[in-house]
């Protein structure tokens, strides 16, 4: 049996986020999946928060777009929240 979609998307999100931050060891990502939606919560070191959000939110929106494309290809929606 293949791994759940939430686990695959979580791995992708961790890869994207850890490649952007200065303290990848402090990246925490939690994912929950129900029949229609994958809910994810991201926490990074305080000094990396600006790197993840980006100017006018462009970086986090780009990450969300990539994750949404993967989820949509499997008939699901995704919500990624950044915890401050």
1-21 burial by CB neighbour count: b if 16+ within 10 A, else e? eeeebbebbbeebbeebbebb
- Total count of domains within the chain: 1
pTM of the model: 0.91
* Longest Cα–Cα distance in the chain: 41
Domain holding 60, by residue range, is: 5-83
Please write the tens of the pLDDT for every residue from 38-77: 999 999 999 999 999 999 999 999 999 999 999 999 999 9
| CATH number assigned to the domain comprising residue 58 | 3.30.300.20
**Rounded mean pLDDT, 6-18:** 94
């Amino acid at each position: 049996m293949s791994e759940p979609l939430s686990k695959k998307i979580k791995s992708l999100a961790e890869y994207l986020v850890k490649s952007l931050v200065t303290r990848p060891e402090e990246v925490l990502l939690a994912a929950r999946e129900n029949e229609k939606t994958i809910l994810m919560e991201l926490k990074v070191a305080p000094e990396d928060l600006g790197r993840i959000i980006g100017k006018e939110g462009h970086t986090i929106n780009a990450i969300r777009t990539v994750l949404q494309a993967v989820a949509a290809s499997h008939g699901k929606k995704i919500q990624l929240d950044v915890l401050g």
